[in-house]
Copies of this chain bind each other. A is one copy, B any other.
């Protein structure tokens, strides 16, 4: 017969410290970027790390993620999505720390408005070709090394984002509410790390119904002042049905 589950008193075992780290993606000039911050304390002082913080009593992990996003980047209104929980031994030199990692997408304009100093400094750009398990983080032409195991975490997040491209409406969170089909194509090219065929892309995405029930609808509005023929603006609409 199965032994009783959780028969031990709570508190019988020591618990790890539980933290939340955020992979905050954004996109600027057709390049996918990730928000990092300089660490001031040891360990890894002076290096770039992902924004994060410890879980407080009375918080769910989602709540912690939103609080960290608000405190560190001034972005309180974003929807967050849990990615993975990292628990490798020794991943934090200070002790036993388990990190639940969230990933979040934000249009560059919104990031600028909320935390301009972040973007001024420049953010690490993600360079990762489609069929290449390598990933480089580049800022101002030179490679950035992240502290802790955060480089591996960003790679995991990028893989998940790629997987979500085709069947989730989440990647639209990298774009402003209204966007052209070319802008959408550039987002997908940057995430996938490879070029896409343009006429085919247009046919596929014009008025496309997404699995979530949303539809990509043309608005009738046009771009202007862009030194070429204006393009129609599209937006994501929830299907009434």
Q: Does A17 reach chain B (CB closer than 8 Å)? A: yes
B6 near A41 with CB under 8 A, answer yes
User: Which of A25-33, A90-98, A199-207, A230-238 has 4 or more CB atoms under 8 Å from chain B?
Assistant: A90-98
Task: Determine whether A135 belongs to the interface, using a CB cutoff of 8 Å to chain B.
Answer: no
**Does A224 make an interface contact (CB < 8 A)?**
no
Q: In the complex, A38 Cα to B87 Cα: how many Å?
A: 29
Instruction: List chain B residues, Cβ under 8 A from A89.
Output: 58, 60
* A54 lies within 8 A of chain B by Cβ: yes
**Contact call B100/A88, Cβ cutoff below 8 A:** no
A117 within 8 A of B: yes
In contact, B19 and A16 (Cβ under 8 angstroms): no
Check if B88 sits within 8 Å of A85, measured CB to CB.
Answer: no
**A170 is an interface residue with CB less than 8 A from chain B:** no
Determine chain A's interface SS by DSSP, over half rule. loop
Assembly CA distance A10 to B92 (angstroms): 11
Any chain B CB within 8 A of the CB of A184?
no
Q: Which residues of A (62-94) have their CB < 8 Å from a CB of B?
A: 62, 71-72, 82, 84-85, 87-89, 94
| Bound Cα distance A60, B96 (Å) | 10
Give the contacts of A113-159 with B (CB-CB under 8 A). 117-118
- B18 and A6 contacting across the interface, CB-CB below 8 Å: no
Partner of A53 from B6, B60, B85 at Cβ < 8 Å:
B6
Task: Looking at the assembled complex, report how far the CB atom of A211 sits from the nearest CB atom of chain B, in whole angstroms.
Answer: 11
CB distance from A121 to the nearest CB of B (A): 9
Give a binary string over A205-216; 1 marks a CB under 8 Å from any B CB, 0 the rest. 000000000000
By a CB distance below 8 angstroms, the chain B residues around A171 are none
A13 in contact with B17 (CB, 8 Å) = yes
A225 at the interface (CB under 8 A from B): no
Between A15, A58, A62, the greatest number of chain B beta carbons within 10 A of the residue's beta carbon is seen for A15
List of 7 A-B pairs having minimum Cβ-Cβ separation, nearest first:
A2-B37, A4-B40, A61-B87, A15-B15, A60-B87, A85-B85, A10-B95
